[in-house]
Structure 1
Amino acid sequence: YGRECAELDRFVYENPDMVLLFAAGNEGDDANSDGVIDQVPPSITPEASAKNILSIGASEGYRPPSENWGGASKSTWGAFFPWAPFDTDYISDNPNGMAAFSSRGPAADGRIKPDLVAPGTNIISVWSRPAAQLGNSGWGEFAGPYRDGSSRSKYCYMGGTSMATPLAAGACALVREYFLKGRPSWNPSAALVKAVLINGAYDLSPGQYGTGATREVFNRPNGVEGWGRIDLARSLYPEKPRTLFWIDRPQGLMTDQHHRLRYRVTDSSEPLIVNIVWTDPPATPVAYRALVNDLNLRVVTPDGTVIYGNRSPGATVPDQVNNVEMVQIDQPAVGVYEFYIEGANVVFPVENPRQTYALAVSGGGAPVGGRFPDIVPPQVSFVSPGDGAALRGTARIEVSAMDDQMIDRVTVKVDGKINLGSRFGAPYVFYWNTAMWSRGAHTITAEATDFGNNTTTASITVVLP
């Protein structure tokens, strides 16, 4: 955990809506020729080891030689590793296999990295004119119908975790759009985007080489696939009877505080998957352990069994390393489950240590009562005027407010004293007659309240010239 990691973690911590992605690297190697890509020592790149980013490895694409694709589709991994099982394995013939070159984790302090994987072999991508002029065609020209004026293809084949990562970035953009255009609309945190993608990811275990001595992937999470291959449809639109529920940015937890959520499983044929992600404060570079604020996910099953995040049933020591925790129960018994999100050791910010998080849960059931308790404050911001604006006459003030469940009201005040009224439905528009007010700077504050009585305020300063 070096300076690059600390800077990236700080950026996301200070800009919690921003999703940053980094390629895990292409340094996968089988130094001892045992048929398994090495995890000791780890080969993950420094930037991809940061806590708050999405680190993306590469799985195989699916362009088998039998379908007469170009690029490297007729090549095997034997060009890099001329021994079994790589020497007979085609580079892009099994989407449940890993790209041999994909860098393996974990991070130096044992954190699970990469976070996710996406296809990264024989990806068809745009072919830049300067690269073509230099004779660089990546993994080969794509002989498709898309050609420029010189009849040269506009596309070529390419591979690497740097091809997997743009696919993952596109998935993040679609997750963000899903929430912004949802009902209700919600501005998702980077932690929620990460949590939803991890929740719906496909576990590649055991990989493409079976369960013998050259087994490629063990049960997730692991330093090969992280939490699995991105499956956007399963993350956002799981097939019935499976459903997705989520919580984002609830009131922050202090040490020894917890949130308790109750979930009823009605269909045991669907795995129950619950995970939390939190945007952790940056650690000191070269810290022995990068985690600063430690939360725990604890699931209690209907028969009283306790399962901690990233731990097997029966384990008594929770995860104290990762800021992503998951519990997966493949055949959950019908009944009520309790999810505890606990503040195990929250030390930052120093003046008021609290840690918020995002939670995603999917399975054959729903929260008891149909929804989780309303523990998430609303989001509120000014549409107009802008901060520092000069106002004259009757000023129009418009506020945007959204909530994960439902907004009750929005109230606007000037200088904390004069109430311009409340609005109980959008659009949240207010009018302020500035004629009788003193010249100079004034503070306008908007307060949004939801039906759980959670409140959030936003303020701007305006000037009456």
Structure 2
Amino acid sequence: MSRMSRRLSGALVTALLVQGVAVVTPATGATGGMSATGTTDPTATASDWTHGTGQGAATHRVTLVTGDRVDLSGAAVAIQPGAGREAMGFQQFERDGHQYVVPNDALRLVTGGQVDERLFDVTGLVAAGYDDAGTAVLPTIVTYADATLGSRSLRATAGARVTRTLQAVDGAAVAVEKKTAGTFWDGMTAGSPTAGLRTASGVAKLWLDGKRQVGLDRSVPQIGAPTAWQAGYDGRGVTVAVLDTGYDATHPDLAGRVTEAVNFTDAADTDDNVGHGTHVASTVAGGGAKYKGVAPGASLIVGKVCRDRNCADSSILAGMEWAAPRAKVINMSLGAEDTPGEDLLEEAVNTLTARTGALFVIAAGNEGSSEGTVGSPSTADAALSVGAVDKQDVMASFSSRGPREDGAIKPEITAPGVDIVAARAVHATSDYLEVEPGYTALSGTSMATPHVAGAAALLAGQHPDWRAAELKAALMASATPTPGADVDAQGAGRVDVARAVHQSVLATPTSLPLGTQEAPADDDVPVVRSVTYRNDGTEPRTLDFAARVTGPDGSPSPAGMFTVTPERATVPAGGTTTVTVTADTRVESGTGVFEGALVGVDTTTDTSVRVPLTITKATPTHKLTVKVIDRAGNPAADYWTDIMSLDGKVYRFVYDPSGSGTVSVPEGRYTVNASVITPSDGSSTLLVRPTLTVTGDSEIVLDARKGTPVSATLSRKDASLRLAAVGFRRELTNGTGYGMRVTADSFGKLFTAALGDDVGPGEGALVADVRGFWAKKGKDGTYDDSPYEYVLVWFERGHLQTNFRRVVRQSELAEVKQKYYSVTGAPSRAFQHNFGFPPEGGSALSAGAIWFDNPGHRTVYYKAADTMWEARYNQYAADGTFQTQFYSNNYETYRPGKRYTINWQQAVPGPRFGRQTFVTRDGNRLSFNIPMAGDHAGHTGYTECDTSRVAFYRGDQKIVELDYPWTDASGPVPAAESTYRLEYSSARSATKGDFDLGTDISGSWTFRSGEVSGSMPVALSAFDFAPAVDQTNTGRTAVIPMRLVRQPGAAPSAVRTVSVDVSYDDGASWRKARLVKVGRDAWTVPLPGRPVTGGYVSLRASAGFADGGAVEYRVIRGYRVG
């Protein structure tokens, strides 16, 4: 059978679903991650701001489960095979902004579903904090086909440490030591690369232990809770479990409410150090010291499953197993992107619900209004998936939408989730700002979910014998729909517990996803479904039934398309009645989604029973069969095939071990590509058909025997090839891109085949590349300390390069001498990645790291034509501690035959803009991320630090304060022109990693800004001091040149005032310097007094501008005194 998916899994972070918090947070809002918090309020508050950890700026090293290492730098990767795997080839994929790197020996296991593809999603691993700087172990989960054999295989595998047994999924959480990851991989697999690897005996699948994210005044009456209280139902006798970040036991709203708390993380206790869990718990059952929760009579048990903003799958699973037998209702305001098939948390929700009857109420996510963004595990069949509305019952813009991958209706219900005021933990993070003492306002589906959990507790108190199915049915049946909102956004509608406690009729099933009717419609078979209504009351209820459905254009569905039989029926007390709904898509109508609800109404009792329904009348689709053949002429078993529509709307992944698979695709134009490994010779063939037009059923054969050889050689005889690669990247007409690249240790193992015609006009650019990396191999067999490196790339447009052969001469290359300056008091080691991009932009690849001494120098030879080069420099202490990382964001271009010199880390360190913009305004949204440790050459710099602070003000009002060291932040600002101030500071111990320069750097920028059209750089400037120093950053200069450098693209403004102070005692005292103007925005600074040899020069400077802007800058230990 074929394995198909709409998309690759892009994120592995389970979000605490609150909008406006870092990407790797629990369900609190995020930039680029799953979040359950969001905002529709146009005014700027801290919760409206999104911020991440500046991941695009730094180089992140990731050790894969196979033991191979990948360095990720934004859209560029560098690959280093693990020990004993030097000849291993790799597949690099780009999907949805994520970079995947899959070793050839893992490809069949990934495509066949035995190994989780997220283990090779390098972008996702970094986002989850699983890079090597974040953790020395890779958390995984092993599930068993046979528990006895599987656990035996685990015990026999070196480098595997079982941290927790997970009975709900028949598996175990396993910590993999990265130093021995290659050994673990060997133990978890069997077979050979030639015959194909399989999982070890008894092992069903190897998963990533992914992370999920977490992110009450008017909201409680909004859902009708006071009416339920007046009827005598406040949740008394019901236990609700909150699986979250812990709770604040000292908060008065939770005093006496929590009967049991257990920590499932590696944190010290159950205390809430984020604030998310406390807010959620008080919304469920707060005691009313200030604001009353939805079910104030309920008891709470708290499972801390999120150490901070991160929630490991294994911790969540353990918390679920603990809570399900103890609680009637379980609140999970966390989630991650839903992936094809059933993931481990979805499986556990279904298993535990069936076993215990507990209802899991789970946030749908904060991924916005795009189709299919609803998050897991709310996508489990048994879960009640919760979206968010504002206080006027309008859908929140951030609330994730359905449908689920298979068309099921998710989310299923909504609740208030915008600016919800509830308890603030005493140890909450700084972004959980107090709106009044002890309380904070948050937005997100994280906030909506506890409203529904509380409502479920009220019903459970009213009906102690009800299990999850009845609770879910009653809440959905009684919901109040939001006019104009799609079913895929709101499900049944906003929870209405006032109606629920007075309404006795339930419906099963709770929703009717009627599927997709393929074109043409004239032969469609009508879809018939039955709904059973159950009356738990003491009086019969007579209901009038109708299908209230609208078409894709929002108008009512045509007559005859939906019929209900009978249209009126009586549900007897204690009995049931069945109603049938029929959807006949043969009725003349447009194509698209028809949605609404089967509604049963008893006007005499205000009973209204809603069952949301959808059916899709598809545009014409056709079967596309893909046959893949390897270079030996055999049906391929090790391959990866993508089918992508040119508009980016349709993606199909095709794999079948037989080498032939069939998928259905709409009519249209597609790119088809495949990477085919031939086991007998270890070769990889990349095949690309840029454009395939599908108008009917068709077949395409991807035959690796059509591949032509690729070769490139140097005239330099002592240079050895380190890595060879071929690839392509396709720009889609929706502005996104995707691509594939394959690597080998020899060009002799790479082949390419260009199929069909070249890319035509208006079809989106295709840029193909061939890459080669050479250096001098040492006696130890590595390339470390090679005095030179060759980094070459050739681009081709419209099609893959075929029959590619090059002999490279020195005259074709640019020779660039790299000089490395030291910011530490002891020798260190460093490496530099060199990424070649086409002028159009896109992704890039580099070979693994070549380590060298710092200070020092070496030479890099670049292919000069048709390439933009980005170099990234990383420095580590002798003990392996990361020290500093600079990268050239200037995309340098070089000329053939020319010589250049580049200096890295030359004093004085401080904020630099390079050629990029780091503070921008787009309409009424402002974004910032200032690299605070740049160098004199203009390289933007990021460095390790002990403490840091970022604060943003409008006038004297603080809008947001962050404590992340290098933070990307973005948020709304008023349209009217205002004065803003941005403050940055970072400090590091002089003994941390042997640092003795730039130990304390701070900057402050004041600027005026108002609404703009499009994205514009903010008018900021930075100081650049340039003392004469050697490569240890030591100098005896008496005069320092100084410039003010404007952020690129910003409007110029005359300097009105400027001053500089100098310190020779690390800032304990300062002396004013006399400035000598030598040009526009340029001065010299004669040093006052005489600095002491062996000491340091610290600098403090400020300037004011005619446009009202200002800049202040201070660096302690700017350079050494010789």
Establish whether TM, by shorter chain, passes 0.5.
no
Structure with max Cα Rg:
2
Give the TM-score of the pair, scaled to structure 1.
0.40
How does the TM-score come out when normalised to structure 2?
0.17
